[in-house]
Amino acid sequence: MIEALTHLMADRHWPYIWPCYALAVATFVALAVRAALNLRKWEKAARE
């Protein structure tokens, strides 16, 4: 896996590839965190 990664990082398209993967991960993390916080807030509010 490390060789595949180092091979990829040397490719001229690497500066275009990694932002896409990073953005996808960041997007899903952000959506998940937002959803979890929202759910926790209203679940607590409904219990009162």
Partner 1 sequence: MFAYFANPDRFMRLSAWGLPIATALAVVLFAIGLPWGLLYAPADFRQGESARIMFIHVPAAWWALGIYTFMAVASFAGLVWRHALADVAARAAAPVGAAYAALCLITGSFWGAPTWGTWWEWDARLTSMLVLFLTYVGYMALWGAIEDEARAARLAAILCLAGFINIPIVKFSVDWWNSLHQPASILRAGGSAMDPSMMQPLLVMAGAYLAAFAALLMAGMRADVFRRRASANAQRRARAA
Contact residues for partner 1 (CB under 8 A)? 1, 4-5, 8, 11-14, 16-17, 19-21, 23-25, 27-28, 31-32, 35-36, 38-39, 41-43, 45-46, 48
d(CA 35, CA 8): 34
Least separation, in Å, of the C-beta of 17 and partner 1? 5
Least separation, in Å, of the C-beta of 9 and partner 1? 10
Task: Give the C-alpha distances (Å, rounded to integers) separating 27 from 23, 30, 33.
Answer: 6, 5, 10
d(CA 21, CA 18): 5
Least separation, in Å, of the C-beta of 14 and partner 1? 7
